[in-house]
Amino acid sequence: MHPSTLSRRLVDPLVAFAWTEWAQMGVLAAPERHSPWAQDPEAMVVFTLEVARHEPRLFDELLDWLVVSEPLLSVRRLRTMCVDQTDGALTNAALAWLARGRPRARLRGGGDAAGATGPLEPLFHSGGPVTEPDEDFAAAGFLRARSAPSGKSRPPDPLAPINLAFRLRQILGVGVRAEIVRVLVTTDAQRVTAQTLARATGYARRNVHDALGGLTAAGVASAVTVGTEQRYAADRDAWSALLALTPDRAPSHRPWPQLLASLRRILRWAAQSHLKDLSGYLLASSVRDLLESLRPELAFAGVPVGSTASAQGAWRDLDALVAELLAALQAPVALPP
């Protein structure tokens, strides 16, 4: 497999996945299916800012959605979901654009990207001339034409299973408690540790521990001690009754921060122009380095990463990993007629 082949293999399904998820979350589009999981809004925003560089219309509709749904988002979690400088620059640019168009927005850009200098990188891979660059994206190092909100997006439907995070934020506020409850209500695990919840929610372990203390004191979560660790669970029946989650509408859990970040990193790796000049040996070595960098987070997500030493084996491991990650984005639930 060649990196360019891998890139082509990834782009179309990732763009299609993003469109379908956002169509259920308020972007004006027709979803191809109903997703059976609860989505992680901040993980999905950061993921789409990269994937939609291959689909400018999706990028602009995401920005439009941010204008409508900004009160339901956490800038802290948006920054936590960034795994590299490119994530940070794209996120800062989007937040600066939002703040300019919506002066009262809580989500504002900042950081090193605001002082970017040097030649600008085209934001969209399709290229094309830009006569009037957008200053917010230029400040983050990206070249794109100015844009304005399309006004087509609508607030997320809080009763849709995919939007459980938004409904919990409307009840508990935008913060760590809503994220903890989302994970506890949807996970298959009977009980989980504070460390697991910290990695799943993107909040520091201390914040998670403090929030768990409040939830258990209120009687809406419970804790047991196993060895030296405390493990936590939510009363799913009680939460399901409160949230009107019938068995056919109860969303499942996916480790979105880990899955979506790994897909972004693979997509960016495959797009590196210098890879085409590497020898077979050096290219295979780069593949192995990529797999090793992904291994810790994907181990948490329960996705196996191969470690074959040979050059051909490394490509087979990457091919198998990509197939596993793309399969995790598939939902066998069709739309009703």
CB atoms within 10 A of CB 181: 23
pLDDT in tens, 279-306: 888 998 999 999 999 999 999 999 999 8
Q: What is the pLDDT of residue 333?
A: 42
- Token representation of residue 315: 């490509």
Q: What is the pLDDT of residue 124?
A: 96
Residues (pLDDT < 70) of the chain are: 1, 103-117, 331-337
46: exposed, middle or buried (C-beta count within 10 Å: 0-12, 13-18, 19+)? buried
- Inter-residue contact 178 to 165 (CB < 8 Å): yes
Q: What is the pLDDT of residue 113?
A: 42
- What CA–CA distance (Å, rounded) separates 331 from 335? 11
pLDDT in tens, 169-217: 999 999 999 999 999 999 988 899 999 999 999 999 999 999 999 999 9
Evaluated on CA atoms 17, 21, 27, 33, the torsion sign reads positive
- Inter-residue contact 114 to 92 (CB < 8 Å): yes
- What CA–CA distance (Å, rounded) separates 128 from 125? 9
Q: What is the pLDDT of residue 337?
A: 38
The string of DSSP letters for 261-279 reads: HHHHHHHHHHT-GGGGGS-
Start-to-end CA span in the chain (Å): 40
Fold of 161-249: Arc Repressor Mutant, subunit A (1.10.10)
- Inter-residue contact 35 to 18 (CB < 8 Å): no
Residue 56: its H or E element: helix 56-69
Rg of the chain taking only CA atoms, in angstroms: 21
Query: Where exactly are the structural domains of the chain?
Result: 3-143, 161-249, 257-328
Can you state the percent helix, strand and coil of the chain, rounding each to 5?
Answer: 60, 5, 35
β strands within the chain, DSSP E: 121-122, 142-143, 192-193, 221-226, 229-234
Q: What is the pLDDT of residue 116?
A: 58
- What CA–CA distance (Å, rounded) separates 127 from 104? 33
Query: Per DSSP, what are the bridge partners of residue 232?
Result: 192, 223
CB contact set of 96 (below 8 Å; sequence gap of 6+): 108, 109, 114, 136, 139, 140
